[in-house]
Amino acid sequence: MARADRMTIDSGVPSMDLMESAAVAIARVASRVLQRMSGRRVLVLCGPGNNGGDGYVAARLLRAQRYKVRVASLAPPDRLRGDAARAAASWTGTLLPAQECDFHGVDLVIDALFGTGLARDLDPAAQTLVNRLNQWRRETKQSVISVDIPSGVDGTTGAIRGAAVEADETVTFFRVKTGHLLLPGRTRCGRLTCAHIGIRSTTLESMGVKAFVNAPELWLPHLPRPRVDGHKYTRGHALVVSGGASFTGAARLSASAALRAGAGLVTLASPTEALAVNASALTSVMVRPADGPVGLAHVLADERKNAIAIGPGLGVSEASCQQVEAALKPQAYRRAAVLDADALTSFESDPFRLWRATRGAPGPVVMTPHAGEFARLFAECDGNHANRSKLDKARDAARVSGAVVLYKGPDTVVAAPDGRASIQTGASPWLATAGSGDVLTGIVAGLLAQRMEGFLAASCAVWMHARAAEQFGPGLIADDIIATLPQVWRELCGESA
């Protein structure tokens, strides 16, 4: 953000204009909130930097609209520098030290304490102020609007630096920051608005930004669609590996999801002991016997099976490791793979053995760990440095494994070895249900079977999975995600497609 800011100013846009535009956006949201609640009294908390500067300008704009505005400042105004000092000088109304401010009778607080310049944990005085503000909000149910990001949330990592404001609305500028999307930061933002303040989008291109909100713009042009002149083999053939007789449900969920994600054919490779149970529970998915690594290699001799999903219900064992190695075996044709659950955990004691396999694989590999699996497998990427986010960890994991890492959770991150990454926003809490991850694995496999590129397939699968849950709503179970996928396809392709 600082670079985008600098480039814009260097191109001739006065920095005060950016601050003025930012404040206009804040004042607009503030007056909407105030009108809704018929409130008039505003307290603006200003910090020592330009975030505080935005606060002073917003205070002036709101006062011009006849609201009753007071400003409380964390730093004496004569200690401010640059634009923040100019903004403070333009404020002629009530100004008091933040430590002494009283929330009594206030309808709305604007939090302009710290923004993207937060460089360390809040000092004790700032923490006390933030805690008082949060307590006032909880007790009175009045509103808080944060300027750029709730003060105390690290804009890059989403971590809470000592204490952080709990906002009802956050108004950010130019682009949403990773700290707004990653937990726990996301939970502090309330409703997030991103305002245009005069920074051109071309600025980003020259900066080589590689992290994106996971939205259709990212992958829609690459979404596979059935061709009029196609047949089922042109839509790919996914192979899903089943566990033993008592653990077959997970792989069946993956298999059905792969079909719904658009794979032309799906075969379940099943241990002989589980053939009957698998066959009796499936209709459009084919079932073939495959016992252990040798059996799997035999089924995989058919190179039309161009994507494999392995892990759900597989069991943690040496045999599972060998099955994964069989699935990733180097060969002349480009078979894609998605590894989940036990396919990952089986390598816990020797992750490098898995990296050798993933790095040598003939096609794209996607791994889909949740936090527990991630910690077991990527212990060295998972270190608890205050300044390393889930995004950093997923990127490191992708780099060491040479695979796309789909790090699951309420803020799922997909990272590619080349540094590209997507962050999913707004996933339904109902997705935390048995079998949900198996369905996701199947969707990835279905898209990979249709030859979608690994990072885009993984990002698209995460989005479709989340969107299905959102469309279905409360009471969701894993089967409902599969059943709702056609609705998601209709939305993505337009009703007619």
Ligand X SMILES: NC(=O)C1=CN([C@@H]2O[C@H](COP(=O)(O)OP(=O)(O)OC[C@H]3O[C@@H](n4cnc5c(N)ncnc54)[C@H](OP(=O)(O)O)[C@@H]3O)[C@@H](O)[C@H]2O)[C@@H](O)CC1
Q: Output the known binding site for (6S)-NADPHX.
A: 50-54, 115-121, 148, 250, 313, 370, 438
Residues 148 to 187 in contact with K ion, rule: CB under 5 A: 151
**Min separation Cβ 94 and ligand X, Å:** 21
CB of 437 closer than 8 Å to CB of 251? no
Which residues partner with 213 through β-bridges?
423
Of positions 18, 34, 57, 147, contacts K ion by CB under 5 A: 147
Of positions 93, 117, 402, 426, contacts ligand X by CB under 6 A: 117
- In the bound state with ligand X, the residue whose beta carbon lies nearer, of 53 and 236, is 53
Residue 291 CB burial class (10 angstroms; 0-12, 13-18, ≥19): middle
Report the partner that residue 48 touches, choosing among K ion, ligand X, none (CB closer than 5 to 8 A by kind).
Answer: ligand X
Q: Could you tell me which stretch among 1-9, 65-73, 329-337, 354-362 binds ligand X (CB under 6 A)? A: 1-9
Report the partner that residue 49 touches, choosing among ligand X, K ion, none (CB closer than 5 to 8 A by kind).
Answer: ligand X
Rg (CA), the chain: 26
Report the partner that residue 146 touches, choosing among ligand X, K ion, none (CB closer than 5 to 8 A by kind).
Answer: K ion
**Min separation Cβ 278 and K ion, Å:** 55
Would you state the structure tokens that stand for residue 15, as one six-digit string? Answer: 């920095």
**Min separation Cβ 278 and ligand X, Å:** 55
Report the partner that residue 271 touches, choosing among K ion, ligand X, none (CB closer than 5 to 8 A by kind).
Answer: none
Q: Could you tell me which stretch among 111-119, 313-321, 371-379, 463-471 binds ligand X (CB under 6 A)? A: 111-119
**Min separation Cβ 171 and ligand X, Å:** 9
- Round to whole Å and give the CA distance between 234 and 322: 30
248 binds K ion (CB under 5 A): no
Q: Could you tell me which stretch among 117-125, 136-144, 250-258, 422-430 binds ligand X (CB under 6 A)? A: 117-125
295 binds ligand X (CB under 6 A): no
- In the bound state with K ion, the residue whose beta carbon lies nearer, of 111 and 154, is 111
491 binds ligand X (CB under 6 A): no
CB of 99 closer than 8 Å to CB of 125? yes
Site map for K ion, 111-130, x if CB under 5 A? x-------------------
- In the bound state with ligand X, the residue whose beta carbon lies nearer, of 119 and 332, is 119
Sequence ranges of the binding site: 50-54, 111, 115-121, 148, 151, 250, 313, 370, 408-412, 437-438
Per DSSP, which regions of 98-196 are E strands? 108-112, 143-147, 169-173, 191-195
- In the bound state with K ion, the residue whose beta carbon lies nearer, of 151 and 368, is 151
73 binds K ion (CB under 5 A): no
378 binds ligand X (CB under 6 A): no
Closest CA to 417 of 464, 466, 369, 367: 367
Of positions 67, 114, 347, 374, contacts ligand X by CB under 6 A: 114
Distances (CA, A) of 471 to 431, 480, 497: 12, 10, 19
444 binds ligand X (CB under 6 A): no
Report the partner that residue 338 touches, choosing among K ion, ligand X, none (CB closer than 5 to 8 A by kind).
Answer: none
- In the bound state with ligand X, the residue whose beta carbon lies nearer, of 194 and 279, is 194
78 binds ligand X (CB under 6 A): no
**Min separation Cβ 6 and ligand X, Å:** 8
What is the number of H-type helices and E-type strands within the chain?
A: 20, 17
Give Cβ neighbours of residue 424 (< 8 Å, ≥ 6 apart): 214, 411, 412, 413, 414, 462, 463, 466
- Round to whole Å and give the CA distance between 94 and 143: 21
**Min separation Cβ 120 and ligand X, Å:** 4
Of positions 39, 77, 115, 264, contacts ligand X by CB under 6 A: 115
Would you state the structure tokens that stand for residue 289, as one six-digit string? Answer: 């016997």
54 binds ligand X (CB under 6 A): yes
86 binds ligand X (CB under 6 A): no
Distances (CA, A) of 200 to 6, 155, 157, 173, 336: 12, 21, 24, 12, 38
CB of 466 closer than 8 Å to CB of 428? yes
51 binds ligand X (CB under 6 A): yes
**Min separation Cβ 420 and ligand X, Å:** 24
CB of 289 closer than 8 Å to CB of 295? yes
Give Cβ neighbours of residue 413 (< 8 Å, ≥ 6 apart): 182, 390, 391, 394, 405, 406, 407, 421, 422, 423, 424
Q: Could you tell me which stretch among 16-24, 27-35, 212-220, 272-280 binds ligand X (CB under 6 A)? A: 16-24
Residues 165 to 204 in contact with ligand X, rule: CB under 6 A: 173, 197
CB of 397 closer than 8 Å to CB of 404? no
Helix axes 50-64, 82-89, angle to 10 degrees: 20
Helix axes 454-472, 478-493, angle to 10 degrees: 110
Helices (H), 335-418: 342-345, 351-360, 371-377, 390-401
Would you state the structure tokens that stand for residue 278, as one six-digit string? Answer: 């698998």
Q: With contacts defined by CB under 6 A, how many residues of the chain interact with ligand X?
A: 29
- Round to whole Å and give the CA distance between 282 and 252: 8
Query: Cis peptide leading into 364, omega within 30 of 0?
Result: no
Q: Which residues contact K ion by CB under 5 A?
A: 111, 146-147, 151
Binding site for ligand X (CB under 6 A): 1-2, 5, 18-19, 22, 47-54, 114-123, 126, 147-148, 173, 197
